[in-house]
Amino acid sequence: MATPNAGSATQQPAVEATPIGQRLAALLSSGFTFLILAALCLVFAVLQGAKFANPNNAQNIAIDASQLLLLTVGVTFVIVTAGVDLSVGSVLIFSAVVAAKVMVRFAGSAEEVRAYEFPNQEVAIPLGLAAGVLAGTAWGLLNGVLITKLKMPSFIVTLGTLGMALGAAQLLSNGTTIPNVPQDVQLKLGLRELVGFDVGDYRIRLTPPVLVATIVVVLAALALGRTRFGRYTYAIGSNAAAARRVGINVDRHLIKVYGLSGLLAGVAGGFDLLRFGTASVGSHQADNLAAISAAVIGGTSLFGGLGTIGGSVIGAFIPAVLRNGLVISGVAPFWQQVAIGAILILAVYLDQRRRRAEERM
């Protein structure tokens, strides 16, 4: 405090002494997930050498993590508001199917498309991707509206839309992989080398999915950490009644947050086409739990008010590194899920301990 005469009578030495210790404890346990990530990389690098630790593989990991990263970022905003979004995996699938259907529909006549000719693909591909993003956003907004206007728990609403979006995707696709998608969405767009350079024998390529995921992460980190939007997100998760009292339009903000989560799931749906050239309803069904786990491992509290994008990024990379390293090591990749479960429990346990220490008064 600047004023010299301020509070001569209210010295609180006992309270003033704690922050350094507190900050150290906070650093240790929030650094915990980063340590896990670093340790995993180190272990695989030591065991597998250049098979794991090479620029190409780093790039593979980044591409592999990009979809989960998008979902995790969206879910982080939701969880910070003390809500949850279980629908993101289904919304991803729905968006991918919509994007694929739109591409097939507008790329050429039915005969042309069946003959793998796509005269209008320059229009059809961006149109399809945009339709996917819009579809995802629509599901997200629907979640937000139902949660705020019907005053329903987010768990229930998004559990409902999880089923609805998945069922709708299966109806649209007849339950199978969408055929006759213009291959250029993968070959010319998804695998396109935006920037490339050689590192020894390896070639590093920046492809659109990685670029988009990077931009999303940076923007999201700024939005949550530096803007009023982020401040309101924390405030609502911390004490929604207080947020209302100070005039924050809580309902509108929550609708935006769920809309954002849906939008990012829609973008992640587009990534299916960029990466694999098609949309299938078979995968991604557990992505919602993977994204929530990643956010929580990264320090986001399910009770709201706490969480950072940086933490969530680390949380989303841990499963990608694990899967990649296990495959390279010749170990069944299913171990990844076992390990993630254990890390989740450990991370939350440490976090709880830290918070209890911080909040005892």
Partner 1 sequence: MDGTRDDPEPVLQAVGIDKYFGPVRALTNVHFAARAGEIVALIGDNGAGKSTLINVLTGVLPHDGGEIVFDGRPVRLSSPQEARALGIETVYQDLAIAPHLDAVANIFLGRELRLPGPLGALGFLDRRRMLKETEEQLGRLRVRVPGLGRRMTTLSGGQRQGVAVARAVMWASKVVIMDEPTAAFGVAQTGQVLDLMRQVRDTGIPVVFISHNMPHVFEVADRIVVLRLGEIVEELDPKSASIDDAVRAMTGSTRFTGVGIKAEFVARTGEGRSVGNA
Contacting positions for partner 1 (CB under 8 A): 1-3, 5-7, 9-10, 12, 15-16, 18-19, 22, 222-223, 226-229, 231, 234-235, 237-239, 241-248, 304-306, 355, 358-359, 361
Instruction: List the structure tokens of 341.
Output: 């479960």
What is residue 205's three-state secondary structure? strand
Which one, 284 or 354, has the nearer CB to partner 1? Answer: 354
**Alpha-carbon gap, residue 273 to 189, rounded angstroms:** 10
**Alpha-carbon gap, residue 273 to 184, rounded angstroms:** 10
Which one, 105 or 244, has the nearer CB to partner 1? Answer: 244
| Residues facing 206 on adjacent strands | 195
Instruction: Report, in Å, the least distance between residue 312 CB and partner 1.
Output: 17
What is residue 196's three-state secondary structure? strand
Amino acid identity, position 37: L
| Residues facing 199 on adjacent strands | 202
CB-based contact 85:74 (threshold 8 Å): yes
**Alpha-carbon gap, residue 278 to 301, rounded angstroms:** 35
Instruction: Report, in Å, the least distance between residue 310 CB and partner 1.
Output: 17
Amino acid identity, position 118: F
Which one, 16 or 201, has the nearer CB to partner 1? Answer: 16
**Alpha-carbon gap, residue 258 to 140, rounded angstroms:** 5
Instruction: Report, in Å, the least distance between residue 228 CB and partner 1.
Output: 5
Instruction: Report, in Å, the least distance between residue 300 CB and partner 1.
Output: 12
Instruction: List the structure tokens of 283.
Output: 């995968």
CA angle 163, 333, 86 (to 5 degrees): 20
Which one, 19 or 196, has the nearer CB to partner 1? Answer: 19
Instruction: Report, in Å, the least distance between residue 34 CB and partner 1.
Output: 21
Instruction: Report, in Å, the least distance between residue 357 CB and partner 1.
Output: 10
| Residues facing 202 on adjacent strands | 199
Instruction: Report, in Å, the least distance between residue 151 CB and partner 1.
Output: 18
Query: Who contacts 50 (Cβ-Cβ below 8 Å, separation ≥6)?
Result: none
CA dist list (Å): 334 to 146, 175, 304, 307? 36, 25, 31, 28
Instruction: Report, in Å, the least distance between residue 324 CB and partner 1.
Output: 35
Which one, 67 or 233, has the nearer CB to partner 1? Answer: 233
| CA–centroid distance for 129 within its chain | 18
Task: Count Cβ neighbours within 10 Å for each residue of 113-142 and write b for 16 or more, e otherwise.
Answer: beeeebebbeebbebbbebbbbbbbbbbbb
Which one, 216 or 340, has the nearer CB to partner 1? Answer: 216
Which one, 164 or 248, has the nearer CB to partner 1? Answer: 248
Which one, 195 or 246, has the nearer CB to partner 1? Answer: 246
Which one, 253 or 284, has the nearer CB to partner 1? Answer: 253
Instruction: Report, in Å, the least distance between residue 311 CB and partner 1.
Output: 15
